[in-house]
Structure 1
Amino acid sequence: MLLPRERTEIAPGAVHVPDWLNLEQQRRIVEACRGWAVGPVPMRSARLPGGHQMSVQTVCLGWHWQPYKYTRTADDAGGGQVAELPEWMAELGQKAVNAAYQDPVAGLNYSPDTALINYYGDAAAMGMHQDKDEKTSAPVVSLSIGDTCLFRFGNTETHTKPYTDVELVSGDLFVFGGSSRFAYHGVPKTYPGTSHPQCGTKRGRLNITMRVTGME
């Protein structure tokens, strides 16, 4: 008998809530992501200022992220206007903050205006980095669907140790805010073929991260 995975505070303000999304919710999100991936701005692998192309593919809602800024138009991907962040996803973000912090007020006060949808193929990874292009310190909400990944959550001072490794499974929620809002974090690897057969994905991992940009 498998023991239930429990809600865990990985660091102050950083909370892992296993199995938060049910399979129906996961399939609904996957279907929506398939539409966003083809337009109005197509999913692409962003190129860093030094010329390195990321192995993770991204499409954005609300605001377009490119290293290292937000714009309303996808200037590095054809110049199109990004799709709006749907109300149902913003409401899901509020519920996520409530579930992570067990605080209805914190959830009601959370108003995400952008979502980055990242697709990890079998060999994709994400190096240690900070989410610091936003103009606020509101929490980041992260949802995982598809293959399991190794998520590395570190500290706010350096991209090296100390850090904590967490396995994020399809349906898991991870929220980081407060004193952990600007902690370094990354995804060293995914585990191909580990997704739930009914989650809606055929292969790979989808990661939806909602943020509050503070932009107008």
Structure 2
Amino acid sequence: MEILIVEDEAEIAQLIQLYMEKEGFSCRVCRDGNQALQIFQEQKPDLIILDLMIPGLDGLEVCARIRQQPGPKDPYILMLTARGEEIDRIIGLSTGADDYMVKPFSPKELVARVRALLRRSLRQGGQTHTYRTQHFQIDVDQRVAQRCLGNNEFESLDLTALEFDLLSTFMSYPGRVWNRTQLIDKLWGSNFFGDERVVDTHIARLRKKIEPDPSNPTFVKTVIGVGYKFEDTV
């Protein structure tokens, strides 16, 4: 597994690298946002540990730019910051970060969170189901998601691994209302560390890819005070 550490404080970067390499991860370190984007383009790491306050482009901008260009390998992003205000956590997650830690942090907890993030893509293995509704079709075994255009024609959806698992979960139980805790348990399991609002972030990203009007969703609907449900006739 490849990890990119984006941290401008040399001692913290070295500490993170030391703990990650002890766990068997391959690490590369950089100290500014522009270099981080360049390395991302060249190497496509599995996970990025990204400091919020870095020279050049800050962590929020780096995170947003990476999420604007997802490809076959969309990395997990764990954001670090010296600030602990709630608004910072919300902003960090809204730009596409998967988790968030405030400095000073425990290196052992950081390792645990990294391992929990990297396990996410493994939790849905072994299924052999195909789900189909009026507008969508998913082959869980082949990990292919398609939009039904009519006349037996289909259009592939460019989803990240987590977006695919989220849509698959919704389509496997159409009409069921899921709260954030249930979705976390289903997709990430008991090893999840972080803020439950990360669910809202991925719901918003999924809506942008499947909804005609993401601001007024037709398929993934919010149930106020409870959670989310998927509606689409068969």
Is the structural similarity TM-score above 0.5?
A: no
Instruction: Give the TM-score, by structure 1 length.
Output: 0.24
Considering fraction of residues, name the structure with more helix: 2
Q: Indicate the structure whose relative CO is greater, using CA pairs within 8 Å and at least 6 residues apart.
A: 1
